[in-house]
Amino acid sequence: MDIPVISGGKSVEREISFKSAQNVCKSLKNLGYNPILIDLSDDDFLQKIKSYTIAFNIVHGDFGEDGRLSSILELLDIDYTSSGPETCLATYDKFIFYNLFKHYIPFPKTILTNKLISAPFNYPFIIKPRKSGSSKGVYIIHDENEYHFYLEKDLREYGDILIQEYIKGREITISYIQKKDKFELLPILEIIPKKEFYDYEAKYSEGVTELKILENPSQQIIDKIENIGNQIMSLLNFKDMFRIDAILKGDDVFILEINTVPGLTNLSDLPTSAKAAGITFDGLIDIILKNHLIEENQDKIAQGGLKNGISRNNNIRR
């Protein structure tokens, strides 16, 4: 069975998307499928994709995670991996996500600006783009000079900017994968960067960050994380996988953002968390595909038959 792997695009995460796609393509081959790598930014993208019944979305950032790609695929009646348009829109826009959930789960205090304003919090604090990923444009601001320089830089590059209270604590990542009609919480990872925080370089450079299973979390922490996941899944309709980034301060858990198309590179968080649960990368991709392919027809589909053996799974909740 041919499975197009949609990657690339024109966002700042284009390079990372291709790295994720290379891993996905390798696993698809190992699983007996024929991956077809398609760049979202190709002029003939629609012509290339329209004949397929299912696609693997691994476009990070703009278009892949903001709901536009999934909207196009739905209009073309193509099943696809990762979440649908409404959930992508509500999570990729960090200010919408913050306002949807700020009364239900803990966040750092956050304001939105599209111009240079007086520092709203005591230093240090965080600035970040309203819409972006891979920690592009994210800075810890220590003084007024840094604030003016980096805020003006981000305003030029991204437009709307979030200014966020800095909470000093342990960075953690919380990954979920869907198995048929239920989501499973994978082992929680602690992120230990050698840099000041988990920025773009720390995420994608070998040896700059250690990802390890969070050691001996208290039952209170586990309960809070599970409650946060349940709260988010009660309002938003996820598919296949998603990842929550958070700060752990004592027994308090503060949510930073959600990724609906998490990285699948060799250094990415979700595959590392899956590995800690005993799930190989091939196993992870197989689990995702089984959410879409009718199980009893798996063997026939993998051998190239029953191309219509697709099961829509756009309304799964926990």
50-85 residue pLDDT tens: 999 999 999 998 899 999 999 999 999 999 999 999
Q: 186-219, pLDDT tens digit by residue?
A: 999 998 866 555 544 545 455 567 889 998 899 9
Report the alpha-carbon distance of residue 151 to residue 127 in Å, rounded: 7
pTM of the model: 0.86
Report the alpha-carbon distance of residue 57 to residue 80 in Å, rounded: 6
Q: All domains of the chain, ordered by start, with CATH?
A: 2-86+293-302 (3.40.50.20), 90-105+168-276 (3.30.470.20), 110-165 (3.30.1490.20)
Using an 8 Å Cβ cutoff, are 181 and 207 in contact?
Answer: no
Work out the mean pLDDT of the chain and round it to a whole number: 88
182-185's contacts with Cβ under 8 Å and 24+ in sequence apart are 182/318, 183/229, 183/233, 183/238, 183/318, 185/225, 185/226, 185/229
* Residue 224 clears pLDDT 80, i.e. is over it: yes
* Residue 313 clears pLDDT 50, i.e. is over it: no
Cβ atoms within 10 Å, residue 165 = 16
Percentage of the residues of the chain whose pLDDT score is greater than 90: 76
Q: 138-165, pLDDT tens digit by residue?
A: 899 999 999 999 999 999 999 999 999 9
| pLDDT for position 136 | 77
Q: Are strands 54-57 and 2-7 parallel, antiparallel or unpaired?
A: parallel
Report the alpha-carbon distance of residue 216 to residue 222 in Å, rounded: 10
| pLDDT for position 312 | 37
The residues, ordered by sequence, that sit 6+ positions from 37 with a Cβ below 8 Å of its Cβ are: 4, 5, 7, 21, 25
What average pLDDT does range 3-11 have in this prediction? 93
